[in-house]
Amino acid sequence: MLEYFLEGFTMFAVMTILIMLSRTVIRKVPVLAESRRFNLEEDRKRMEKSKYPPIIKQNQLIGLLMFPTLILFVTPYFTSFEALPWWRYITDILAVYLVYDFMYYLVHRFLFHGNKFFKRIHGLHHQARNPSHIDAQYVHPLETFMGLAMLWIAVIAVGFLIPGDFHVASMIVCFLVYSQINILNHADVQIQGFPYSIATWISRKHHNHHIDMSHGNYATIILFYDWMFGTFE
Ligand SMILES: [Zn+2]
Ligand SMILES: [Zn+2]
**Rounded distance between C-alpha atoms, residue 56 and residue 141, angstroms:** 9
Residue 125 has pLDDT above 90, yes or no: yes
Which-ligand-closest: CA of 207? 2
88 CA distance to ligand 2 centroid (A)?
31
Q: What is the mean pLDDT of the chain?
A: 97
Query: Domain locations in the chain?
Result: 2-43+54-211
The helix-helix angle for 86-106 and 141-161 (nearest 10°) equals 140
136 CA distance to ligand 2 centroid (A)?
6
Query: pTM of the entire structure?
Result: 0.95
86 CA distance to ligand 2 centroid (A)?
34
Instruction: Give mean pLDDT, residues 150-175.
Output: 98
Q: What percent of the chain has pLDDT over 90?
A: 99
**Rounded distance between C-alpha atoms, residue 24 and residue 35, angstroms:** 14
229 CA distance to ligand 2 centroid (A)?
20
**Which residues are CB-contacts of 128 (< 8 A; sequence separation ≥ 6)?**
135, 138, 186, 210
Residue 42 has pLDDT above 90, yes or no: yes
125 CA distance to ligand 2 centroid (A)?
6
pLDDT band at 164 (very low <50, low <70, confident <90, very high): very high
75 CA distance to ligand 2 centroid (A)?
26
**CB count, 10 Å around CB of 44?**
11
**Rounded distance between C-alpha atoms, residue 143 and residue 46, angstroms:** 20
Q: Residue 17 has what pLDDT?
A: 98
**What would the pLDDT profile of 66-80 be if each residue is shown by its tens digit?**
999 999 999 999 999
Residue 133 has pLDDT above 90, yes or no: yes
Residue 18 has pLDDT above 90, yes or no: yes
**Which residues are CB-contacts of 71 (< 8 A; sequence separation ≥ 6)?**
8, 11, 12, 15, 171, 175
Instruction: Give mean pLDDT, residues 130-139.
Output: 96
pLDDT band at 1 (very low <50, low <70, confident <90, very high): confident
Residue 148 has pLDDT above 90, yes or no: yes
138 CA distance to ligand 2 centroid (A)?
9
Residue 27 has pLDDT above 90, yes or no: yes
Instruction: Give mean pLDDT, residues 202-214.
Output: 95
Q: What share of the chain is helix, strand, coil (3-state, %, to 5)?
A: 75, 0, 25
**What would the pLDDT profile of 211-231 be if each residue is shown by its tens digit?**
999 999 999 998 899 999 999
Residue 63 has pLDDT above 90, yes or no: yes
Which-ligand-closest: CA of 203? 2
Contacts of the segment 109-113: beta carbons below 8 A, 24+ positions apart: 109/218, 109/231, 112/143, 113/213, 113/218
153 CA distance to ligand 2 centroid (A)?
21
Q: Which of 25, 47, 38 is nearest to 180 (CA)?
A: 25
